[in-house]
Structure 1
C-alpha cells in the first residue's frame, strides 16, 4: 500500500508540474517573451565577455554590454536585409500565381484531361461527358483558390503594416531589457540563485548545462547534414543543367532544415511538374536526385545525431511530433531538446524511473549481503 500511495503521489506531482508548465508556456511565455529574449541575448554574450575579461583584463560588464549591443545590431541588420528580400520575393511570387496557372498549369491540365478522356472512352464511350463537367468544375475551383490566395497574400502586407507598432514595442522591450540584463548580469543571476532552493538550483544548473551543450550539438549536427545536402544538390543541379545551381541548392538546403518539409517539399513537385509537362528525361533525373539525397540522409542522420546528441532516432521522432502537436512549429525543435534534458536528468539520478529504483535497491541489498550486513527493516 505504501508503494502504491507513493506511486500515486509521484504521478500526481509530476502531472501537476507538467500541467503548470504547459499553462506557463501558453499564457506566460507570450507575455514574458521580450524579457526572455533580452535575457537570452545577454546570456549568449556572457561567455565571450568572460573570455575577454580573463584574456585582456577588460571590464566584464562593459564587454558584455558592448557585445549585447553588437548582437542586436547584427540581428537587426540581418532581419532587415533578408526580411525585406523575403517579403518582396513572396509578394512577387503570390501576385504572379494566377498568371503562372494560366500560362503553365492550365495547358498541362488540359493535355492531361484530353489523355484521360481518351483513355476512359476506350472502356466506356458515354463516360467522358461526365468527366468533362468534373474537370471544368475542378479547373474553376483551382483558379478561384489561386485568386483568393493571391488576394490574401497582397492583404498580408496591410496586416503586417498594422502589426508594426506591436512588433516595434516588442523589439524595443527586448533590446532595452537585454542591455539592462547585460549591464548587471552577475548580480541578477546571483539574486535569482539566492531566491531558489538549493536542490532546485542544482537541478536548474544541470538543465542549463544540458540545454547549452545539447543545443550546440544539435546545431552542429544539422549544419553537417545541411552541408552534405547542399553539396549533393549543387552537384546534381550542375549536372542536370539547372540555372543558378549554387543558389537553388542553398535555398533547397535551407528548406531541408525544417523537419516536416525536407528536400521532398521542393524536388518532388518539381519532378512531377517536369514529368507532366512532357520533360520526361529531366523529371526522371530530378526524381533520381531526390532518391539519392533521401537515401544518403537516412544513412547519415541517425549516425550524426547519435554521435553528437546521443538520442535514439525513434525518441527524436516521437519528441518532435509531440512537441509540434503541443507547442506548434517551435515544438518540433524544443521536443527533442526536452527529451535530451530528460535523458540527462535520468542519467544523473534527478529523475528516477521505477525500474532504475528497483535495480538500485537490489544492488544495494547485494552489496550489504556481500559485506555480511543485516538487511534493513522493511528492505
Structure 2
C-alpha cells in the first residue's frame, strides 16, 4: 500500500513538473517569438463583445462592423501614442535647453558655497589631514569623472541599440495589424480551429481557465486600483502639507505614473526633490524625499497583502510568486505568475468540490442491502 502511494506521488510530481517546464518554455521562448500574432489575437478577443453588440443593435453583418471598429481602435491607439510621444520629446528638448541655465544659476552657486564652506573648515584643520582630504577629494573627482564617462557610453549604447531595433519594431507592428484584421473578422473560426486542436478534456480545461482567468484579472485590477487610490491619498496629503500648489492634480498624475511599467513615483519625486535641494528649498526637498520613502515602504508592505486578499492567495505566497515571476520573466512575470497560481488553485478547488459532491450521494446510500436468504 505504501509503495502504491509513493508511486502515485511520484507520477503526480513528474506530471506537474513536466507541465511547469512546458509552460515555462512556452512563455519564455515560444510566446515572444510569435508575439505579433499573440497580441493580434488578444486584440480580437477584446473587441469581440463590442463588435457583437454593435452588429446586433444596428442589424449589420459582423465582418464590416469588426473592420470598422478595428480601424477605430488603431486610430485611437496611434493618436494617443503620437500625442504622448510628442509631449515627451518636447518636454525633453525643453529640459535640455534649460539645463545650461539651471546649471549656471543653481548648481554652480551651490558648488561654490560648498567649496567656501569646505575651505573655511580646512583652514582650521591639521596640514597633514588637509593633504589627505585633498588626495581623497582628487580620487573622488576622478572616480566621478569615470562614472560619468561610463554612464555616457552606456547611454549612447542604449540609444544606438534602440535605434537599430526601430525597423524590426515597425515590421512586427505592421504584421500585428494585418493579423488582427484576419483574427477580428474570423474570430470564431480561428478560436474553433485552435480549440479543435485539443482533446475534449483539454477543451473543457481551456474553457475553465478562461472563466477563472477573467475573474482573476478583474480581482487583480481591483487590487491595484486600491493601491493606486492609497498612493493618491498619501501624495495628496503630503504635497498639501508641503504647501505645493495644485497638490491634488499633481498627486493624481504621479499616482497614474506609479502603475506604468518600469516607472514609479520615484520617477517624479526624486528629480523634483533634487531640484528643490539644489535651488535652496531644502525643506521641500527633504519633504518630497520623505513622501517617496513613506509611499515606497507602505507599497512594499501592503502590495502582497492587498493583492493576495483579492485573488485569494496568502500574502507570503503572493510575495514569493511576484519575486519568482520577476526573476523568471521580467516585469510582466511579476503579475503573470500570481495570476497563474490563482487560476491553478481555483481549478483545484473546483475539482475537489466536484469530487465531494459526487461522493456525497454514495455515502448517503450506505452499503448495499444483503440478498434475500443471506
Q: In the alignment, what sits opposite 1:50?
A: 52
Shift in alpha-carbon separation, 1:25–1:122, aligned structure 2, 3 A: farther
Judge conservation of contact 2:62–2:185 (CA < 8 Å) in 1. no
Larger-Rg structure: 2
Q: 1:7-46 to 2 correspondence within 5 Å? A: 7-46=9-48
Q: Secondary structure at the match of 2:60?
A: coil
Comparing 153-162 with 23-32, which one deviates more in the overlay?
153-162
In structure 1, runs of 5+ residues without a counterpart are: 375-379
Shift in alpha-carbon separation, 1:26–1:285, aligned structure 2, 3 A: closer
Q: In the alignment, what sits opposite 2:367?
A: 373
Shift in alpha-carbon separation, 1:198–1:57, aligned structure 2, 3 A: same
Shift in alpha-carbon separation, 1:299–1:169, aligned structure 2, 3 A: closer
Q: In the alignment, what sits opposite 1:377?
A: none
Shift in alpha-carbon separation, 1:267–1:85, aligned structure 2, 3 A: closer
Shift in alpha-carbon separation, 1:292–1:13, aligned structure 2, 3 A: closer
TM-score between both structures, scaled by the size of structure 2: 0.78
Distance 1:41 1:329 in 2: 21
Number of aligned residue pairs: give it.
366
Q: In the alignment, what sits opposite 2:322?
A: 320
Distance 1:335 1:159 in 2: 30
Comparing 264-273 with 95-104, which one deviates more in the overlay?
95-104
Q: In the alignment, what sits opposite 1:330?
A: 332
Judge conservation of contact 1:65–1:183 (CA < 8 Å) in 2. yes
Q: In the alignment, what sits opposite 2:188?
A: 186
TM-score between both structures, scaled by the size of structure 1: 0.77
Distance 1:158 1:304 in 2: 41
Distance 2:126 2:58 in 1: 87
Judge conservation of contact 1:221–1:305 (CA < 8 Å) in 2. yes
Comparing 185-194 with 118-127, which one deviates more in the overlay?
118-127
Q: CA RMSD in A?
A: 4.2
Judge conservation of contact 1:320–1:335 (CA < 8 Å) in 2. yes
Shift in alpha-carbon separation, 1:111–1:5, aligned structure 2, 3 A: farther
Judge conservation of contact 1:117–1:128 (CA < 8 Å) in 2. no
Indicate yes or no: 2:184 matched with 1:172. no
Q: 1:57-136 to 2 correspondence within 5 Å? A: 57-90=59-92, 126-136=128-138
In structure 2, runs of 5+ residues without a counterpart are: 369-374
Q: In the alignment, what sits opposite 2:151?
A: 149
Judge conservation of contact 2:220–2:307 (CA < 8 Å) in 1. yes
Indicate yes or no: 2:210 matched with 1:216. no
Question: How far is the alpha carbon of 1:7 from its aligned partner?
Answer: 1.5
